[in-house]
Structure 1
Amino acid sequence: MTALVAGDRRGTVLRHRDFRLFWVGQTTSTFGSAITAVALPLVAVGALNASTLHVAALQAAVWLPWLLIGLPAGVWVDRLRRRPVMITCNTVSLLLVASVPAAAWLNALTIAHLLTVALLAGAAAVFSETAHQVYLPSLLSGDRLAEGNAKLHGSEAAAQVAGPGAGGLIAQLLGAVFGLLADASTFLVCTVCLLTLRHREPRPSPRTPHRPLLGELTEGLRFLRHDPYLRTMAVFGAAANLALTGYQSILVVFLVRENAVTEPGTVGVILALMSGGGVLGALVATTVARRCGTARGLLLCHLATAPFALLIPLAGPGPGLTLVVLAGTAVGTGIVAGNIIKDSFRQTYTPRHLLGRVVTGMQLVNYGTMPLGALLGGLLGTALGVRPAVWIMTGALVLSTGILLTGPIRHHRDLPDSPGRPAHVPAEPPRARDDPAPADG
């Protein structure tokens, strides 16, 4: 079965059977991961009485593999068919996550076990996420990628709304470890969806496996380093993710110990409401890109929404928690909308034979700062207190948006279609718009 081509006029990408299965599988997996994002720190805090630094270390362990194996993973994904890679990663993740409730039932659960699971599951996610990014352009034609990315980001954002609420509810009714069983089952659903795809991606070039690993790594990094658009996006992503992860890694501790949110179900509801911005971001991304242009829309998504993060450390018990929800919604809207624009640009702009290496190169820079941010948040929370740490990290998020103004993006209305091709510059200033600015993270 071939990719959905430009001439296909049957409607949206959801009419494409294989994309629909891929979409369901990825969304289900995201839902399970969102449950674990609540359940894992609740297990650490509730069952093991973990410290603030231990909870932050769990978040760091999830992202550390991007630093350790991110670059070679891109080369390996470029050498292999991507669907078997995703299936293998799902199977490994299922077994890892299921080991936590098994250890809890045997009275053998430790912080070291949780850290090991977080680290190895993070390693599987490196390969899975890279393969997912590279597989999609073979499933959809270039003119459908923006719509496909919007559908994926939108449904994943919705799953991230439902996941924390479900995780908190499961933790309150049955215990946090049962939330991890729910996550394990979603990896199974995703695997079944991938196995039933009819689409067969092209076999990678036979020359690729015979080239030195270092040479292929250098080729992808060289392209990323010399391209001003991708380079600016990568540096911005690194700084923004450092700050985002810094406060998100201690957010559960902030809610429980600084704002007297003692019920796990309430924690889940708050995190779910904060994630609602991702749904809004997915809904407005294509409209913002179309009306404002992809370059200006990208700037608008981040510059207009990041300052809302400063509302989080102002929050207090009771009604004051609405500030956390408002901030999370705004920041989430901007991030998801911006990610849709960036992902679609990267997938069409980057030469196909380099895409896996460029994806992992950017994600190495973007995600590589996340374990550092998580540890920094934990260290600041331990040394200065949780609320001052949240102030520092949210302030850093606002400052990070200035990086986008240092590159060529600010000079154009739209991002270019291919390297060396000039971006479109409008002949006259754009007319005033009536549509509201989006918000996100």
Structure 2
Amino acid sequence: MTRTNAEPTGSGFGHLWLGEGASLLGNATSAFLIPVLAVVHLDAGPLWMGLLTAAAWLPWVVVGLPAGALVDRHAPKTVIVTANLLAGAALLTVPVAGWTGRLTLGQLLVVALTTGTAAVFSRTAGIKIVPAVVGPGGLEQANARLLGTESLTHVAGPGIGALLITTVSAATGLLLDVVGFVVSAICMRRVHPRRRADVGITPERLRTQVAEGIRIVRHDRYLGPFVLIGGVSNFGLTGTSALIVVYLVDTLGIDPSYAGLVMMLGSMGGVAGALVATPLARRWGTGRASTGLLVASAPCALLVALAETSRQVGITVAGLVLLGATVVAGNVVRGSWRQRYVPERLMGRVVTTSQVVNYGAMPLAGVTAGLLAHGLGTRPTMLVMAGVHLLASLAVLLTPIGRLAELPAWEDPLPSSQRRSPSDDAATPSVPVRSTS
């Protein structure tokens, strides 16, 4: 088969890209402002930082599986708009409480849980809508642009956050994220997919649909290993990132505004990763590129926490750059493959089943990192968590995936007795997705 080079152009993708960028810029700014708000203004220690990180990802464990089936049942555009507006409303309560002097760490936990729940629905629907907007041939380019934009917002977000701290306040600065959610909802209303995403799961079949998604991931020889590796890797990476602000501010003694600069510089790696992902997949093959990027990312997280003084912060920046480049490039390759690999009628359920493991590891990682840092110290805990990511990344070499030049096309992993005919769903049956070579 030949590899297509279709461009994800048109007003549909343009509005999708703009809306996603507005939301991501606000999120990246908040990702810096909220930890600073907690550490500097509310005296949060490592344990509280771990709990805040856990709260943002816990919804994937609690509502992830039914959310996938519900996304498969509704138009993804509607899901994204609703989720963004709910997240914006929840986040708006933080600056309001800050202005009245009533902001507490407990409120930040509730807001993190609410916005995290909204993210479960919006991220799942976002993965499903991209193929409907750009078509299979434009997936690498579209995902590279979306993930590249996300990486750019990670560059700009901490810098903007640091500027907002000095000009207004950390709490008031969160209004930027609220505006981002509103702009995203407006843009998504103007997205008109080229083809209709499958919908139509009836309420009485919800449990059956959830169970099917679990069986697909459990039996698939490629999705299963990716999920396990991703879950363990995310545990290590989340444990490291949960402590990064405390590490920079308290351990290295860096001013919060300069900590934003460090994180901004480190995020440049993600931009580079998005740019090189598609050329690497074409040159090496999707299988070799995925495996090579996972293995290359293995030692990078260790560099993040090797610095012992502020004079060595360049080591941390280098670690963040290399880690971001390898992780983002790998996400582009694997994410595009999954969007082609999984039939559309199963996409929501397969995505959330996978992410329940991948993202479900994150709240556990946040709490674990906070508890370990309370006893071992921040820097040793970050090194332990980085070691977990290293072992998970190298584990791909022990799986069938590690020997593939190209990631494969879809083959139903369920025994024939467990397969349901297309008529069992109200949705239009999807043609099996083809891989490129």
Check whether TM > 0.5.
Answer: yes
How much has 1:328 moved relative to structure 2?
0.5
Aligned counterpart for 2:330 among listed residues 322, 330, 338: 338
Aligned counterpart for 2:187 among listed residues 175, 193, 202: 193
Residues 109-166 of structure 1: CA deviation (Å, up to 9, x unaligned)? 1111000000110000000000001111111211111111111111111111111111
Q: Are the equivalent residues in 1 in contact too, given 2:28–2:157 (CA < 8 A)?
A: yes
Match of 1:164 in 2: 158
How much has 1:406 moved relative to structure 2?
2.5
Q: Are 1:215 and 2:205 counterparts? A: no
Equivalent residues in 2 for 1:32-431, closer than 5 Å:
32-199=26-193, 202=196, 204-206=198-200, 208-262=201-255, 264-419=256-411
CA distance in 1, matches of 2:409, 2:241: 34
* Alpha carbons of structure 1 residues 111 and 407: separation in structure 2 relative to 1, 3 Å: same
Moved more, 39-48 or 316-325: 316-325
Q: What letter is aligned with 2:214?
A: L
CA distance in 2, matches of 1:50, 1:280: 34
Give 5+ residue unaligned stretches, structure 1: 1-5, 427-441
* Alpha carbons of structure 1 residues 198 and 141: separation in structure 2 relative to 1, 3 Å: closer
Helix, strand or coil at the partner of 2:101: coil
Q: What letter is aligned with 1:38?
A: F
Q: What letter is aligned with 1:32?
A: G
CA distance in 2, matches of 1:106, 1:342: 46
Match of 2:10 in 1: 16
Q: Are the equivalent residues in 2 in contact too, given 1:71–1:361 (CA < 8 A)?
A: yes
Match of 2:422 in 1: none
CA distance in 2, matches of 1:143, 1:197: 19
CA distance in 2, matches of 1:308, 1:132: 29
Q: What letter is aligned with 1:91?
A: L
Q: What letter is aligned with 2:225?
A: T
Q: Are the equivalent residues in 1 in contact too, given 2:299–2:390 (CA < 8 A)?
A: yes
TM-score by length of 2: 0.91
How much has 1:270 moved relative to structure 2?
0.7
Q: Are the equivalent residues in 2 in contact too, given 1:306–1:334 (CA < 8 A)?
A: no
Q: Are the equivalent residues in 1 in contact too, given 2:75–2:199 (CA < 8 A)?
A: no
CA distance in 2, matches of 1:383, 1:318: 23
CA distance in 1, matches of 2:88, 2:195: 25
* Alpha carbons of structure 1 residues 255 and 222: separation in structure 2 relative to 1, 3 Å: same
* Alpha carbons of structure 1 residues 265 and 348: separation in structure 2 relative to 1, 3 Å: same
Moved more, 51-60 or 400-409: 400-409
Moved more, 306-315 or 102-111: 306-315
How much has 1:212 moved relative to structure 2?
2.3
Residues 192-248 of structure 1: CA deviation (Å, up to 9, x unaligned)? 111122347537454x21542221111111111111111111001100000000010
Equivalent residue pairs, number: 415
* Alpha carbons of structure 1 residues 203 and 418: separation in structure 2 relative to 1, 3 Å: closer
Q: Are the equivalent residues in 2 in contact too, given 1:350–1:419 (CA < 8 A)?
A: no
Q: Are the equivalent residues in 1 in contact too, given 2:297–2:393 (CA < 8 A)?
A: no
How much has 1:302 moved relative to structure 2?
1.5
Q: What letter is aligned with 1:104?
A: G
CA distance in 2, matches of 1:94, 1:326: 34
Percent of aligned pairs with the same amino acid: 38
CA distance in 1, matches of 2:207, 2:31: 35
* Alpha carbons of structure 1 residues 203 and 344: separation in structure 2 relative to 1, 3 Å: closer
Q: What letter is aligned with 2:127?
A: Q
* Alpha carbons of structure 1 residues 315 and 142: separation in structure 2 relative to 1, 3 Å: same
How much has 1:287 moved relative to structure 2?
0.9
Q: What letter is aligned with 1:230?
A: L
Moved more, 193-202 or 130-139: 193-202
Q: CA RMSD in A?
A: 2.0
CA distance in 1, matches of 2:191, 2:394: 43
Match of 1:432 in 2: none
CA distance in 1, matches of 2:205, 2:15: 36
Aligned counterpart for 1:31 among listed residues 25, 30, 33: 25
Q: What letter is aligned with 1:350?
A: V
TM-score by length of 1: 0.90
Q: Are the equivalent residues in 1 in contact too, given 2:294–2:394 (CA < 8 A)?
A: no
Residues 368-423 of structure 1: CA deviation (Å, up to 9, x unaligned)? 000111111111110111111111111111111122122211121000122269x9
* Alpha carbons of structure 1 residues 404 and 87: separation in structure 2 relative to 1, 3 Å: same
CA distance in 2, matches of 1:195, 1:166: 27
Helix, strand or coil at the partner of 1:314: coil
Residues 299-318 of structure 1: CA deviation (Å, up to 9, x unaligned)? 11121122022122221333
Q: What letter is aligned with 1:213?
A: L
CA distance in 1, matches of 2:374, 2:385: 14
Match of 2:426 in 1: none
